[in-house]
Amino acid sequence: MRAVRYLTLLAVCLGALAWVGAASALIVPQRSIAGIALQMTRPEVKDKKGDPDRIIHGTNDFGPYTQFIYRNPAGKLIATFQGNAGATAVRTNRKSQKTAEGVHVGSPESALHDAYPRLHCRTESSDFRHCWTGRMRPGHRVTDYWIGIASGNVKLITVAFVID
């Protein structure tokens, strides 16, 4: 009887670890990627993901910003802190990051349309097409899927606040 209890406890613990691993690979549209949520502070991101592989400080049309870049063999995960406050964007090119609907880098555009009936798409130029969920208006949250023109597949996924 005691062995059954230990095996049950072990199964529960292993299940919890699998769930945590899956949660860290989850994209929550308009909210987060890999556990980095919009509005998280830089210390909160470091607590969650560790020290970034690279930190970039710069200034653009919207003012100062900082980027935390996390690299691994699967690709990059980048958190941007526009205005150096909370996270204003998180993006990835890692295939391991997926939405609950299974959309990930490498998914065909048709999978986006199947997963999100209210999806908006637009070809901006001969080499740039993207689809998004959410409202593309300042202050709103969006999830933007960059589509490879030649392949028709998702190349990059960004969860962000629309700045302008």
For 125-137, write each residue's pLDDT tens digit. Answer: 888 899 999 999 9
Q: Dump pLDDT digits (tens) for 4-22.
A: 344 333 333 333 333 333 4
Residues 6+ apart with CB under 8 A from 12: none
Is the separation of the CB atoms in 40 and 48 below 8 Å? yes
75 confidence band (pLDDT: 50, 70, 90): very high
Q: Dump pLDDT digits (tens) for 41-58.
A: 999 999 999 999 999 999
CA–CA distance, 112 with 29 (Å, rounded to integer)? 12
CATH architecture, domain defined by 2-161:
3-Layer(aba) Sandwich (3.40)
CA–CA distance, 164 with 155 (Å, rounded to integer)? 23
Is the separation of the CB atoms in 30 and 88 below 8 Å? no
Q: Would you say residue 145 has pLDDT above 70?
A: yes
Give the model's pLDDT for residue 24. Answer: 53
**DSSP category for residue 137:** S
